Every structure is written in structure tokens, then in C-alpha cells.
Amino acid sequence: MKSMQKSDRKLVFDQKGIEAFAEQLKKIRLKEGYTQSQLAFESGLSLSQIARIETARINPTLSTVFTLARTLDVPLMDLFDFELPE
């Protein structure tokens, strides 16, 4: 079996999945009555980070997703309650 070289690795960035997550986060944020600024302040994340997540410009880490769920006081699975695009 050929050992994998660092150059053989593929960067995984599922744009459609990130966009679906972004849309779900925004929907929940608005339902819970938070502005992006309020969510940033309450969660300890930066406003630009919240904006980049909601516009699918960055792929949030699991730790960030956990923080958002706790701050919004929603079950973690609510943030992932969407159909994963093909």
C-alpha cells in the first residue's frame, strides 16, 4: 500500500453543506431573537466570525458550533436539522 504524502491529501470543503448550515444558523438566530452583534457578544465570538459563518465563507469548527448551540440555548441537533445537499 502506498503511503500518503502530504501533497496527496485533499482539502475537504463542502460548500453546499456549509451553505445549508449557514442558512439554518441564521434561521435559528432570528427565531431566538438575536442580532449577529448580540450573538457575537453572548458567545464570545467575533461579529465578523458570525457574519462569515452565516454567509458560508468559513467552515466553523465543532467547538464553535458547540458554543453557538449553548449560546442560542438550542439542542445541537437543531443546528443540523436540514437536508444535506447532494
Burial of residue 21, with CB atoms counted within 10 A of its CB: 0-12 exposed, 13-18 middle, 19 or more buried: buried
Q: What is the pTM of this model?
A: 0.85
DSSP state of 58: S
Q: Is 70 exceeded by the pLDDT of residue 60? A: yes
Q: Helix 36-43 crosses helix 47-54 at what angle (to 10 degrees)? A: 120
What is the CATH code of the structural domain delimited by 15-79?
1.10.260.40
pLDDT digit string, tens, across residues 61-78:
999 999 999 999 999 999
Where in the chain are the domains? 15-79
